[in-house]
Each structure stands twice: as structure tokens, then as C-alpha cells.
Amino acid sequence: MNHTLHRWQRECIDLLAKRVRRPEKTGMVQAFTGSGKSVVQSYLSQMLVSTLRSDEVTIFATSRQVLVEQFVKKDLTTKVPSNQIGQFYGRGKRFLGKRIIVTTYASMLKCAAAIEENGGKIGALVVDEAHNTGAEALDDWMCERREMGLRRIYGFTATAFRGNVKESIHWAEELIYCYPYADALKDGVIVPYQLRTRAGEICDTDDGIIDMIEATDALRYGAMLVTAADIADAERFAARLRAARFMGWDGSCGSGA
């Protein structure tokens, strides 16, 4: 699949390419939810596969098993052959001989240990929703890997800087690229918000949103972004949309939390 890249994606990919070729600092990419980070991640994965030695593996970590499946079966395969992508979580361990191994944060350390126990080497770490790596044990482990000489560590998030000290990220040494809403509006990646009101009976939030989508014929405008409390909430709402059989809904979901 060929993507028409937005300006920010081209610039970010160029910066990442320089850091893959000459890794010096570990870093973070910050871009708002829905901006197209997964496209950049697929290009980065392709670069890592072509740059790292054949015995070096990239660990690609995300927050939930459903996202592991999405990256393995859809997002990363746009740039990396599917036979080079493995997975590691729970019972879903299929990683020997793979160049990219997608795992969850909960299984990330076990994944690294399994790779090395089987004679592999960790050549790079890529973390999706990287704000979740502020958990002490994971942050400490990534810092240790950095101090051991692993410089190809890349994070992607909508919220790189956290207000909670306990969620602070220490492993990242630089902000590689930042793409805020203001720039996206200027580039036409998103359109300005329009205030639309709903008049009707009191109901729960999900019912109210579905009523508004129906009333405004929102899907005819193209992609739609609904902010959820978390991934589980997003999945529940996606199921509601599928059940309602909204035209054009592809069944994908994410969290803006």
C-alpha cells in the first residue's frame, strides 16, 4: 500500500532516517491522536530492517494485545513483509527468525529475554503510546539498555510531557519531532472544529454521540475522530458503531486518553 505522505510525515521520516543511520540520542516523536503516526512507524520499521544486521531484532511495543494484532496484520505490513514480523504476548508467541517482534508493555521484558536466550540481539526499540513507558520498571529498563549502548530507541506519543512526576519519561534524550494541532490546521491535515448542538432526551454519552452522527450525517465528511477514555472504552464504542452499521465505518479504534 502506498501512502500520500503529509508534510510532517515526510520531515519526520527524514529525521528518523538520519538517526537510524547514525544513532546518537534516543528520542521521541510527539504528534496528536489521528495525525498518522502509524504510517511513520511503518517507514521506521522498514528502515530498521534494512539497516540492522541480520541477527539484530527490533522490539515494537504497544499497550494492548488488540493493538499488537493490528500492527502485525495491518499497519506494519505496509512497509515490512509479513513473514519478517513476529509477535510475543501471552500464548501468542511467534518470534524466532523474525526481524520485527511486536509485543505489549506487559510482555516486553520477557520478550527481550526470550530473544537473547535464543541467540538474538536487540538492535532497536520502538514504543507506541510511549507515555505509558513512564512506569518505573519499564523506564528503568529502557534507561539501562541505553546506558549499555543501545541508541536506536524511538517513542511515539500524543503526550510526551506528563504532569504526573511518576509518569515522567527518562529514557528519551531528545524530542525528534513535534506536530501540534495548530500546524495540522495550517496544513489541512485536520479541519477546524465546528460546534454542533444536540436537542433531545437525556441519555448516556455513547447514545448521544451516535444520535449526533446520525443527525449531522458526519461520516460523509470522511474520517471521524471520537476521543475515548481508554482503549477498552474505544473498543466498546467501535462495537456500537459496527452494530449500528454506519456506512464507511472500517471497525478500527483508538484512544485519545
Is residue 242 within 8 A of residue 249, CB to CB? The reply is yes
232/249 Cα distance (integer angstroms): 18
150/111 Cα distance (integer angstroms): 16
DSSP one-letter string for 108-129: HHHHHHHHHHTT-EEEEEEESS
Give the pLDDT confidence of 21-56 residue by residue, as tens digits: 999 999 999 998 888 999 999 999 999 999 999 999
pLDDT at 119 over 80: yes
**Neighbour count for residue 140 (Cβ, 10 Å):** 12
Residue 224's pLDDT band, with cuts at 50, 70 and 90, is low
pLDDT for res 15: 98
pLDDT for res 256: 44
Give the pLDDT confidence of 121-172 residue by residue, as tens digits: 999 999 998 887 766 788 899 999 999 999 999 999 987 665 555 557 889 9
Lowest mean pLDDT among 60-64, 71-75, 97-101, 243-247: 243-247
Starting at the edge strand that comes first in sequence, how are the strands of the sheet with 174-179 ordered? 85-88, 100-104, 56-62, 121-127, 153-157, 27-31, 174-179
pLDDT for res 2: 57
Residue 257's pLDDT band, with cuts at 50, 70 and 90, is very low
Q: Determine if the pTM surpasses 0.85.
A: no
pLDDT for res 82: 93
CA distances from residue 47 to 6, 77, 99, 189 in whole angstroms, order as listed: 19, 13, 11, 25
Is residue 128 within 8 A of residue 42, CB to CB? The reply is no
Dihedral class, residue 160 (left if φ above 0, else alpha if ψ from -120 to 50, else beta): alpha
Give the pLDDT confidence of 71-116 residue by residue, as tens digits: 999 999 999 999 999 999 887 788 989 999 999 999 999 999 999 9
CATH number for the segment(s) 7-185: 3.40.50.300
Lowest mean pLDDT among 31-35, 179-183, 207-211: 207-211
pLDDT for res 83: 94
36/5 Cα distance (integer angstroms): 9
Lowest mean pLDDT among 57-66, 164-173, 183-192, 234-243: 164-173
Average pLDDT over residues 175-199: 83
Q: According to DSSP H, which parts of 135-204 are helical? A: 136-147, 181-187
pLDDT for res 161: 65
pLDDT for res 164: 52
Domain ranges of the chain: 7-185, 193-244
Average pLDDT over residues 225-239: 76
Is residue 81 within 8 A of residue 109, CB to CB? The reply is no
Residue 17's pLDDT band, with cuts at 50, 70 and 90, is very high
Residue 181's pLDDT band, with cuts at 50, 70 and 90, is confident
